[in-house]
Amino acid sequence: MTTNAASEPTGTEDLARYIDHTLLAPAASREDILKLCKEAAEHHFKSVCVNPIWVETAKKALLGSGVLTCTVVGFPLGTHNTDVKVFEARGATMDGADEIDMVINIASARALDRDALVSDISAVAEVVHGEDSLLKVIIETSLLSDAEKVLACEAAVEAGADFVKTSTGFNGGGATASDVALMRQTVGPDIGVKASGGVRSREQALEMIAAGATRIGTSGGIAIVAGGTATSAY
């Protein structure tokens, strides 16, 4: 599966295909999820990203639209045991998730424990890839030093991840162009890089893409493609 775009977007529709239209609020209702899916289909976004409980709802709502269904695992802290992350991932793919965004064990990254990171990620990758789905690995850049970010990205590549991703949007901070550039430099040209957290305008999105992002996670996708600025935090 190709994860790295060949060139920067040249128009609104091209930009839309970078966007994971996201709603991870704990109080989101079924009506909110259906609205999210309708917006994603209308704007031709790459995917919707929802909490696991809404995967089946989103999958059905998006049938025939060409928009993928993405969900999260070990979210938002990454402190679940690996077998719990595996269980979550298996359930999500069985429900129809095309993509899984998992949170690493951040303490392992801060301890520079590469083996623990690889073990955690690879167990989830095996399940996800067994269902022909795609795995993105959230490293939570705001909590890591540059050396720890590099280690986490290297571990994700070694473990078979398809993407590395900056942030959950729930633990402070968010995507920066410098972090995206560092991640791109670390993983090379063939692994996707997802910028998420705080990307609210077209200018910010284009800055992330210029730095090496191949996907943008945001709840402000409509404002971004329209050239405005979203007011949401994610």
Which residue among 20, 98, 101, 120 is the active-site one? Answer: 101
Residue 220 in contact with residue 199, Cβ under 8 Å?
yes
Rounded to an integer, what is the distance from CA 48 to the centroid of its chain? Answer: 10
Instruction: Confirm whether 35 is a catalytic residue.
Output: no
Rounded to an integer, what is the distance from CA 5 to the centroid of its chain? Answer: 15
Instruction: Confirm whether 101 is a catalytic residue.
Output: yes
Those residues with Cβ within 8 angstroms of residue 2's Cβ, 6 or more apart along the chain or in another chain: none
Q: Which of 57, 93, 51 is nearest to 72 (CA)?
A: 51
Instruction: Confirm whether 85 is a catalytic residue.
Output: no
Show the tokens assigned to 6: 């060949």
Which residue among 59, 136, 149, 165 is the active-site one? Answer: 165
Show the tokens assigned to 40: 């994603």
CA angle 134-157-128, nearest 5°? Answer: 25
Which residues are known to be catalytic?
Answer: 101, 165, 194
